[in-house]
Amino acid sequence: MSTIKNYLSLVKFSHTIFAMPFAMIGFTLGVQSINIHQYTFAQILLKFLLVLVCMITARSAAMAFNRYLDRSFDAKNPRTAIREIPRGIISANNALRFTIINCIIFIAATFFINKLCFALSFVALFVILFYSYTKRFTALCHLVLGLGLSLAPIGAYLAITGRFDLLPVLFSIAVITWVSGFDIIYAMQDVDFDNSENLHSIPTALGRKNALNTSVLLHIISAAAVVTAGVYGRFGIFYWLGIAVFIGMLIYQHLLVKPNDLSKVNIAFMTANGIASIVFGVLVIADLIVF
């Protein structure tokens, strides 16, 4: 049991709450857009379970690989030295094995979803694993992280429909800008360390004040994307209540964090964004079911 707990901690399993609700939105949109007689209930349930497996294994692979690749930096950084690999709780080789196993399960799950998802699984893995290298050469690493998580609503929609549509793409735009924005805020904690190790980020490139302004801009785009999706999809009252909460949490986290005061970064990162994602996801799915 302790081993399972250690691996769940390694991949920060609790952070699944960020992308999972958007994957469920994409899946529900897909179910709503198909001929209900195209699948039996059992087939839809199987697709749903396979999407869950894909979400969990893809994210676990990405996080474990990030911890594996960054182990030397994590050991030097006082904020991250308590992580499992630097402390010797999980060996680097075991973290890499864990990454490979999750990648294999992810690809296998997509094979049983449909041919398109299987073909795109290799592209998805490239994006989410490549992110771990980006901080070594570009300040745009936050956008690559956002891109990886933004695949959730599109991927879940493709799992049930096998085709691309504008509405899940709008949700993916919301995710990429939302995640990129709050990752910039989170990265502000490591400006001094990143500079000393020649690691790249928006805060190291622009400074904390301009990084916060960039985060605000990204979150404005994210808010605009969910509003556009609401108008385009002709959603009902639950959706707009969800938008109110989502945008409210975006505003709240920017009220918490200041360039010279990072004491509430974790509240902004975990609490505000967790509430934004879960409440928005529940209300959007409720809207799709009711209306």
| Residue 226 predicted with pLDDT over 80 | yes
Cβ atoms 232, 171 nearer than 8 A: no
CATH of domain 2-290: 1.10.357.140
3-state DSSP assignment of residue 193: helix
Q: Please tell me the chain's helix, strand, coil percentages from 3-state DSSP, rounded to the nearest 5.
A: 80, 0, 20
| Residue 269 predicted with pLDDT over 90 | no
Lowest pLDDT segment from 24-38, 199-213, 246-260: 24-38
The residues with which 258 forms a beta bridge, in sequence order, are 261
Cβ atoms 150, 277 nearer than 8 A: no
Quote the pLDDT of residue 118: 98
Residues 30-76 have pLDDT tens digits of 999 887 667 888 999 999 999 999 999 999 999 999 999 999 999 99
Quote the pLDDT of residue 291: 79
Nearest CA to 113 among 149, 150, 162, 154? 162
Q: Which amino acid is at 185?
A: I
Residue 25 CA to residue 19 CA, distance in Å, equals: 10
Cβ atoms 21, 277 nearer than 8 A: yes
Residues 110-141 have pLDDT tens digits of 999 999 999 999 999 999 999 999 999 999 99
As a whole number of angstroms, the longest Cα–Cα distance in the chain is: 59
